[in-house]
Structure 1
Amino acid sequence: MHVDARGLRFEIRPGGPESGEPVLLLHGFPQHSGEWDAVVPTLHGAGLRTYALDQRGYSPQARPTEVAAYRLGELVADAVAVLDALGVTQAHVVGHDWGAIVAWALAAGHPDRVRTLTAVSVPHPAAMAHALANDPQQKARSAYMLLFRQAGVAEKTLLALDALGLRRLLREVGDDARVAAYADPLREPGALTAALNWYRAMSRTELAAVGPVSVPTTFVWSDRDVAIGRTAAEACAAHVSGDYHLVELPGVSHWIPDEAPAPLAEAILARARPTA
């Protein structure tokens, strides 16, 4: 389905019983709403209504060209506007990777719109800042962002040789068909640049402005995540004032929704299972 919001048209994959409590699913880089395909059947079976959003830059008709259009405040405003367009007053919010950053900021800035939060892989921005300042290993893990912020250079690197760099980045999501399902849409003109603009618009000031989260929160982290280390994961608790739970998935990579959909779905349900 399509939703018009803020002068843009977003693509959304809805599912589950229409009367169920709503769940907004926010994907990360370099993926799209399809990353939730193996997770949502369990949520639907529990009676939840899901809305998997192709976010700004990923929906072809929501792809501004200016880098500043991808600042965190714009991404959060999109999520609020999409909820408004769907007629959803309050939702369980689940985000992975960059989607987790949007989810953290949404929960911190608009707690009235978020019933529960399940953040996957990426912790609260303040926890990341703590790790980057205190853990040399986390600084090394995050070095890839320097490449992604280089306009033109990153695109050339990731798309060269039949998008070999992009496919290597995604190699742990599954088989070749699964890798292609994510990589191929980003080979369309302008698509990868739009996705990378999230990194280029990233502002320390905006990230630092994300305050503590008061809604019930679960953070799901995997110990084989090459991007996020234990220091950042364990620092997350200090930035949640509401009920908080850390779920650690051993032996799983960064791509949790693809590699471990069953335990992720259970973690989401433990937080968001309908009570009535």
Structure 2
Amino acid sequence: MRLLDELALGAAHVVGFDFGAAPAFALAAAHPDRVLSLTIMEAVIAGLAGAESFLSGGGPWWFGFHQAPAGLAEDVMAGAEDRYIRFFLGNGSRRGVPEDLTRSIVRAYTGPASLRAAFEQYRAMPANARWNRSWAEHGRLRRPVTAVGAAAVRDATARQLCLVADDFQEHLLPDSGHIVPIDAPEAVASIVAARASSVRHP
């Protein structure tokens, strides 16, 4: 919400990908007057029902590693950021992440403070899940909501959001890897633009 204030925007079309889904969903749930539409891509929203079958085998291995007590993951990763991040980018995209973008991402996550900031997102997941469950007991998303799934999360996001959204659309991009903005930028832009153009500003 602070970003909207800094940009002097009363409301915006909000898009969240992967871990960006958590703040995007929280903004739409807690401040619906600031969100014209919500699009969530390739993410499971902690605490919301609907993704039980997707999570039946447990979360990905790195969730537990990143959630380890503060300091452990940072100590293990120090000096190996480039190799570790390239592993995830290489597995997350079928098209391939451009080298200049890869280097920028590596720089952003290099160093103890940057690693700590990255891993704290995972450590906050239990608290986020409790808040989301509490909100879902009484809340609904009244603004238009769109779920975009690809090869990794598939329809899990849609199965969550359809339970709490009044105006819901689902799009599946089976030929895209997890990093949909890289693998399917044209499709993503088209989905977001079409949804935004259909929304009447209050």
Pick the TM interval, shorter chain: 0.7 to 0.9
Q: CA deviation at 1:160?
A: 4.8
Match of 1:142 in 2: 60
Tell me if 1:115 matches 2:36: yes
In the superposition, the TM-score normalised over structure 1's length comes to 0.61
Unaligned runs of at least 5 residues, structure 1: 1-79
Q: What is the count of residue pairs matched by the alignment?
A: 190
Work out whether residues 42 and 148 of structure 2, in 8 Å CA contact, stay in contact via their aligned partners in 1.
yes
Work out whether residues 91 and 113 of structure 1, in 8 Å CA contact, stay in contact via their aligned partners in 2.
yes
Work out whether residues 124 and 239 of structure 1, in 8 Å CA contact, stay in contact via their aligned partners in 2.
no
1:60-99 superposed Cα distances (whole Å, 9 cap, x missing partner) = xxxxxxxxxxxxxxxxxxxx12212221111111111121
CA distance in 2, matches of 1:235, 1:153: 32
Q: CA deviation at 1:138?
A: 4.7
User: Which aligned pairs between 1:112-261 and structure 2 lie closer than 5 A?
Assistant: 112-127=33-48, 129-131=49-51, 134-135=52-53, 138-150=56-68, 151-161=70-80, 163-171=82-90, 172=93, 174-202=97-125, 203=127, 204-211=129-136, 212-222=140-150, 224-225=151-152, 228-241=153-166, 243-261=167-185
Q: CA deviation at 1:244?
A: 0.9
CA distance in 1, matches of 2:154, 2:58: 10
Match of 1:99 in 2: 20
What fraction of aligned residue pairs are identical, expressed as a percent? 28
Q: CA deviation at 1:267?
A: 0.5
RMSD: 2.5
Counterpart residue type for residue 146 of structure 1 = G
User: Which aligned pairs between 1:51-130 and structure 2 lie closer than 5 A?
Assistant: 80-127=1-48, 129-130=49-50
Q: CA deviation at 1:124?
A: 4.3
Secondary structure of 1:219's counterpart equals: strand
Secondary structure of 1:89's counterpart equals: coil
Tell me if 1:264 matches 2:183: no
**Pair 1:88–1:109, CA change in 2 (3 A):** same
Secondary structure of 1:199's counterpart equals: helix
Work out whether residues 38 and 145 of structure 2, in 8 Å CA contact, stay in contact via their aligned partners in 1.
yes
In the superposition, the TM-score normalised over structure 2's length comes to 0.81
Work out whether residues 237 and 244 of structure 1, in 8 Å CA contact, stay in contact via their aligned partners in 2.
yes
Higher relative contact order (CA 8 A, sep 6+): 2
Unaligned runs of at least 5 residues, structure 2: none
CA distance in 2, matches of 1:106, 1:85: 15
